[in-house]
């Protein structure tokens, strides 16, 4: 049940990011795109994000953790590339700046929704 809740929260956060950021476009059946993109983003976060964090540890120390936003943006952009190129999901991110803003929005929305769900259970 927790995995399904996390997946739904991520899909909603991706929807909000696509709604607010002009550089993030979704075409066709949008909810299918958000659902697949949530799975792809979760896999990228589980497999590649830890490696990026280890490799960028000195930058994270120097920037007092703010470089984590760049890592989040890169993982969102990478998940979009994987979803578009390999799976044919139309979730396009136009630039790294759009990915950075989108990652910030996804992080905020995911945190707020996770706290709201946690309080209800």
Task: Give me the mean pLDDT over the 64-77 stretch.
Answer: 94
Please tell me the predicted confidence (pLDDT) of residue 77. Answer: 96
Q: In angstroms, what CA-CA distances link 107 with 11, 30, 73, 87?
A: 12, 20, 10, 24
At CB < 8 A and 24+ separation, what contacts does 28-33 make? 28/90, 32/89, 33/83, 33/89, 33/90, 33/91
Task: Give me the mean pLDDT over the 67-94 stretch.
Answer: 93
Find the domain containing 16 and state its range: 2-120
The two tokens of residue 112 are: 């707020």
Query: Over 90: is that where the pLDDT of 120 sits?
Result: no
Tally of structural domains, the chain? 1
């Amino acid at each position: 049940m927790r995995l399904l809740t996390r997946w739904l929260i991520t899909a909603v956060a991706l929807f909000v990011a696509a709604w607010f950021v002009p550089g993030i476009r979704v075409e066709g059946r949008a909810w299918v795109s958000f659902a697949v993109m949530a799975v792809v983003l979760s896999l990228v976060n589980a497999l590649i994000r830890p490696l990026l964090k280890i490799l960028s540890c000195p930058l994270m120390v120097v920037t007092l953790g703010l470089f984590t936003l760049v890592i989040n943006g890169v993982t969102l952009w990478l998940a979009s590339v994987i979803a578009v190129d390999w799976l044919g999901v139309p979730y396009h991110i136009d630039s790294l700046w759009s990915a950075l803003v989108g990652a910030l929005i996804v992080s905020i929305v995911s945190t707020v929704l996770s706290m709201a769900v946690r309080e209800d259970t």
